[in-house]
Chain A
Amino acid sequence: MSDAHPHVAVAEQFDDAEQQHEAAGLGMWIFLATEIMFFGGLFASYTIYRNLYPAGFLAGSGLLNAKIGAFNTVVLITSSLTMAMAVHSAQLGRRKALIGFLFLTLLLGLTFVGVKLYFEWYHDYLTHVAPGFGFHPEGADLARIHALHAPLSAVELFMCFYFLMTGVHALHMVVGVGILTVLIVKAWRGRITRESHNIVEMAGLYWHFVDIIWIFLFPLLYLLGVTR
């Protein structure tokens, strides 16, 4: 790949395309480091509270539907695959495959957000389990809470962290979906060629990172409650 970039638009502050590519990659990874620390604040608080109120978090996790969580995980991992294939086809300059895979990733991302919004959050709102919106679980939920001797404030705290962590994650998904639409438009106009595919790689890094965050969220939030 010696003359990998015969006529690539090199920004004037860079000497050559290789330096530009390396700089963009490092910049993206440092941004992902800040995202790790951003989510890190939530993970740290979650860890502390989970050890302070084990029963409350166990009961709270029981309120979630692990099957939908698993389905969403599979959706997100598939979208990671299609994103990786999109980056692959961008590197080889196959425009049609690029647009196809980008569209697939977009679709999967929208499915994920859609499932979360309708089947999980809206359902929790209806069953009065959403904190801040009149949190008073009843029926089977209440029975499970009492069975585990969990104080209601701790269950509400768990639901707080559930909505916060998945909310911030969903926000990042929406931003990702926005980036994908921009990429599809650029690719459609043929502005992403074999030489100038950097932006697709960066979008790929971002998407895979958001997938990694979900990989950790799924067991911490959903799988805690299913253990019988």
Chain B
Amino acid sequence: MSEHVASPKMYVVIFLSLIGLTALTTAVAYVNLDAMLGLKNLPLNTIVALVIAICKASLVGLFFMHLRWSSNVMRLVVVCAVFWLAILITLTGADFFTRNWIPIPRPWQASVTYQRSSGIVIPSNVRR
């Protein structure tokens, strides 16, 4: 947030590019990219929409909010906040999206023998 005074012309340029990006993301949304490119389980539309949104957000942040001319501490704050949010999403996702994975490979489990307290070894595959 330094004393930099940006030129109005620059603001208008950034404004127009933001409007352009909005139009682009809306237009792209009407096209079903997955069907077009035939990729099976990649949410292409979402990725493209998010990439455009990140571009717009960084345009607003860098030029309208003067991050480009402010001290490194300010930028560090923004980077930290986004990184912490990423921690929340990725580690929560790590739980939700691996919940129905089978815990361990089958063969290793089957061979584990049961040590009865009285010393008799019961192979696990013996049908009770």
Contact A25 B70 (CB under 8 A): yes
Q: Mark B29-45, 1 if CB is under 8 A from A, else 0.
A: 11111000000000001
Q: Mark A1-39, 1 if CB is under 8 A from B, else 0.
A: 100100000000000000001101110111011001100
Contact A227 B31 (CB under 8 A): yes
Q: Which residue on A lies nearest to B12, using beta carbons?
A: A81
Task: Give the CA-CA distance A209 to B11 in the complex, in Å.
Answer: 16
- Choose the segment among B2-10, B101-109, B110-118, B119-127 that binds chain A (4+ C-beta atoms closer than 8 Å): B2-10
Contact B11 A88 (CB under 8 A): yes
Q: State the Cβ distance, A61 to closest chain B Cβ, in Å.
A: 10
Q: Chain B contact residues: over half helix, strand or loop, or mixed? A: helix
Q: For A144, what are the chain B residues with a Cβ–Cβ distance below 8 Å?
A: none
Check A193 for interface membership: any CB of B closer than 8 A: no
Which listed residue, B32, B50, B77, touches A33 by the CB 8 Å rule? B77
Q: Mark B43-75, 1 if CB is under 8 A from A, else 0.
A: 001100110110011001100110000110110
Contact B11 A25 (CB under 8 A): no
Contact B29 A223 (CB under 8 A): yes
Q: Which residue on B lies nearest to A219, using beta carbons?
A: B49
Q: A33-B77, A66-B26 are in contact. Are A40 and B18 (CB under 8 A)?
A: no
Task: Give the CA-CA distance A211 to B59 in the complex, in Å.
Answer: 12
Contact B65 A208 (CB under 8 A): yes
Task: Give the CA-CA distance A36 to B77 in the complex, in Å.
Answer: 11
How many positions in chain B have a CB within 8 Å of any CB in the partner chain? 48
Q: A40-B85, A77-B19 are in contact. Are A219 and B50 (CB under 8 A)?
A: yes
Check A228 for interface membership: any CB of B closer than 8 A: yes
- Choose the segment among A45-53, A110-118, A148-156, A173-181 that binds chain B (4+ C-beta atoms closer than 8 Å): A45-53
Task: Give the CA-CA distance A78 to B14 in the complex, in Å.
Answer: 11
Q: Which residue on A lies nearest to B11, using beta carbons?
A: A84
Q: Which residue on A lies nearest to B91, using beta carbons?
A: A44
Q: State the Cβ distance, B116 to closest chain A Cβ, in Å.
A: 42
Which listed residue, A32, A66, A91, touches B81 by the CB 8 Å rule? A32
Contact A215 B30 (CB under 8 A): no
Q: State the Cβ distance, B57 to closest chain A Cβ, in Å.
A: 5
- A77-B22, A216-B53, A223-B25 provided; 13 other pairs, C-beta below 8 A? A33-B80, A36-B82, A36-B85, A37-B88, A44-B89, A47-B93, A51-B96, A73-B22, A81-B14, A208-B60, A215-B57, A227-B29, A227-B30
List 6 A-B residue pairs with CB atoms under 8 Å apart, sorted by A's residue number: A25-B70, A29-B74, A74-B19, A208-B60, A219-B49, A219-B50
